[in-house]
Amino acid sequence: MRNFFVKFISLHKTRIWDNFKQGRNLISFSLEITARCNNNCRHCYVALSENNSFAKRKELTLKQIENIANQAVELGALGCLITGGEPLLRKDFFDIYLVLKKRGLLVSVFTNATLIKEEHIIFFRKYPPSDIEVTVYGITKETYERVTRRAGSFAEFMKGVELLLTNKIKVRFKTVVLRSNVNELTEIGRFCRKHSKDYFRFDPFLHLRFDHNPKKNNQINLERLTPREIVAIEQKDFERRQALEKDCQKLINPEFVNFNCNHLFHCGAGNTSFYVSYDGFFRLCSSLCHPSCIYDLNKGSLLDAWYNFVSKVKNMRSYNKEFILKCRKCELINLCMWCPAHAYLETGKIDGSVGYFCAVAHARADSLIHV
């Protein structure tokens, strides 16, 4: 591997230097080891059923994961996030974790905590994760299982969380806000902050499905809050409100009307991190699944994806006049949820305009103007 890396560097030193000048230095990456999940959450944009045999057959093998980890470390990666689906469904989870850990990576894990058992606690105490991040869908059985749509999931969740906390495994909590749990948000926030004093975040933005499943997308839309409801929640949260008010002048910028660049990507995607899907596709970020923006690692190398493919994606441009005149020049773009990844999920176009995002941005702007 090292000889290959040296040869690659010599062949692509111009591209590598250009990446360095552009601030593209790999720090961490996310590894989706399965898309399967034991829950069936109403809002989920990626998860497939636990027993989906087709998805299971397509999952990266331990050897493939080890190869990706080796290349990522050669590129300078310091950390890795293991995510899913529900990553603990993988029978070889411990082996995957150790492959990453033994490469010197700081390893974090996203889990719903329902599968946490004593064996996981023993393992995590022996090989401590950087942190384990758990999503809290509700703090009552009724609310939690209304979201997960699986009987018994709340009891499993509470047992898993108790095991983690009582054994002093570092846990961070978050929640996603949807119509099925919004009435319990205050209590969820109180629970999360009590047990995760240095960290808590909530996300009121639900994304549509990667597989574009119309039935499931309709379910997600039914769970979305209105723009006014989102703003009301943000205004009630002191930390979120303070951040928005502090950066008000930067977030609303009339000078954008003079912005003439038609590059699609003005975000940090692909600058310091990347994402690998369960079936081996490299993406600049977790949400970017447009066919032109994914790289099949089964047919190429991570080195090529990072040094060459990312630059091609970042250089993509839009010639859609509606987008250029309406969205790219909008003074509220920094208050908007719009990005190429989410535009594609919403409209099927990487430069599509999304009315829902626009309404959220204007509602946010109204709340800031009247502060």
Residue bearing tokens 């087709």: 54
Integer Cα distance of 128 and 114 in angstroms? 19
CA atoms within a 13 Å half-sphere pointing along the CA-CB vector of 318 = 26
Instruction: Kindly list the domain boundaries of the chain, sorted by start residue.
Output: 19-226+267-318
Integer Cα distance of 73 and 100 in angstroms? 10
Q: What is the mean pLDDT of each run of 10 residues along the chain (371 residues)?
A: 49 47 79 97 94 96 97 96 98 98 97 98 97 96 98 98 96 96 95 82 91 95 96 84 64 71 91 97 97 97 96 95 87 88 96 94 84 54
In the prediction, which pLDDT does 32 show?
98
In the prediction, which pLDDT does 9 show?
46
3-class DSSP state of 28: strand
Take residue 282 and report the two structure tokens written for it. 């490299």
In the prediction, which pLDDT does 168 show?
94
Report the DSSP beta bridge partners of residue 111.
134
Residue 349 burial by Cβ neighbours in a 10 Å radius (0-12, 13-18, 19+):
middle
What is the CATH T-level fold of the domain 19-226+267-318, as seen in this structure? TIM Barrel (3.20.20)
For the chain, give percent helix, strand, coil, nearest 5: 50, 10, 40
Report angle CA 181, 184, 190 to the nearest 5 degrees. 130
In the prediction, which pLDDT does 237 show?
79
Take residue 88 and report the two structure tokens written for it. 């603990």
